[in-house]
C-alpha cells in the first residue's frame, strides 16, 4: 500500500534521508523512532508529498507521490504546527478546514470533536485552548474526514497522562477498524502499545 523505494534527500550537503526502502501493508500501525533530527518528520513529509526527495520513489495506493504536484490522498495528517485561527472557536476552525474539501458535514466535525473529548469546548476560541486542547483539535482535524491513512508526527505532544491513554485508545480503535497508521513518538510505551512494525532512524538511515 505504501512503497518507499531507495529514498534519498540532502539539504545543503547535509544527509537528511539515506537509502530508505520500506513496504507498508494496509491496516497496520508503523512507528518511526529515533533521536531528534534523525529524519522522522522529513520521511513523513516525503510520504505526504510535502518535501522534495532527490532520489527514489514513493507510492501510496499505486499512485506515485510527487512533491508539490501529487500529494497523498485520503490521509489525515498531523505534521508540525496547525494553522488554526486563534480568534475562531475550535468548531469554526474545523468547519473552515472541512469547507476546503467539502467532503464532510457539520455532524462529522461534531463527531470528531466528541471523539477527542473537545465537545464541551467546541465553542471556545482556540486562543483560550490549552496546549493539550490544541493537540486534541489537531487530532480531530486529522480524523474528521474519515481517512484511510493517518500520518501522525508526535501525536502525544502536550498531552497529560490520562489524555495520552485516551488518544492512544482512539488511535488503536482506528487501527482495529482498518486504518493504516504511521506515527512517530519519543515514548516507547505508545510505540509498543500501538505499532506492529517499528523502524529506528539514525542520521536519516534506517538502522533497525
State in Å, rounded, how far the first CA of the chain is from the last one.
Answer: 21
Q: Quick one: cell of 119?
A: 465537545
Cβ distance to ligand ATP smaller for residue 128 or 192: 192
DSSP 59-126: EETTEE-BTTTB---SEEEE-S-----TTSBHHHHHHHHHHHHT-S-HHHHHHHHHHTT-GGGTTSBG
Cβ distance to ligand ATP smaller for residue 94 or 191: 191
Q: C-beta of 200: minimal distance to ligand ATP in Å?
A: 11
Cβ distance to ligand ATP smaller for residue 46 or 97: 46
The answer to whether 194 touches 183, Cβ cutoff 8 Å, is yes
Binding flags for ligand ATP, 37-76, as an x/- string (CB under 6 A): xxxxxx----------------------------------
Cβ distance to ligand ATP smaller for residue 89 or 157: 157
Residues 17-36 that bind ligand ATP (CB under 6 A): 34, 36
Q: C-beta of 34: minimal distance to ligand ATP in Å?
A: 5
Distance CA 30, CA 86 (A): 33
Which residues are at the interface with ligand ATP (CB under 6 A)? Answer: 11, 16, 34, 36-42
Amino acid at each position: 500500500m505504501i512503497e518507499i523505494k531507495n529514498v534519498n534527500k540532502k539539504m545543503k550537503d547535509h544527509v537528511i534521508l539515506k537509502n530508505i526502502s520500506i513496504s507498508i501493508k494496509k491496516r497496520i500501525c508503523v512507528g518511526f523512532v529515533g533521536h531528534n533530527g534523525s529524519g522522522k518528520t522529513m520521511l513523513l513529509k516525503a510520504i505526504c508529498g510535502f518535501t522534495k526527495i532527490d532520489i527514489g520513489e514513493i507510492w501510496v495506493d499505486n499512485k506515485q507521490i510527487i512533491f508539490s504536484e501529487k500529494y497523498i490522498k485520503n490521509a489525515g495528517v498531523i505534521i508540525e504546527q496547525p494553522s488554526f485561527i486563534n480568534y475562531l472557536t475550535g468548531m469554526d476552525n474545523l468547519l473552515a478546514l472541512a469547507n476546503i474539501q467539502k467532503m464532510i458535514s457539520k455532524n462529522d466535525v461534531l463527531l470528531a470533536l466528541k471523539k477527542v473529548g473537545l465537545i464541551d469546548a467546541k465553542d471556545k476560541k482556540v486562543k483560550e485552548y490549552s496546549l493539550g486542547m490544541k493537540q486534541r483539535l489537531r487530532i480531530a482535524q486529522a480524523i474528521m474526514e474519515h481517512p484511510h491513512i493517518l500520518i501522525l508526527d508526535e501525536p502525544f505532544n502536550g498531552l497529560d497522562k490520562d489524555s495520552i491513554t485516551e488518544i492512544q485508545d482512539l488511535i488503536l480503535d482506528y487501527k482495529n477498524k482498518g486504518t493504516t497508521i504511521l506515527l512517530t513518538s519519543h515514548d516507547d510505551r505508545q510505540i509498543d502499545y500501538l505499532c506492529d512494525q517499528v523502524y529506528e532512524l539514525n542520521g536519516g538511515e534506517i538502522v533497525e
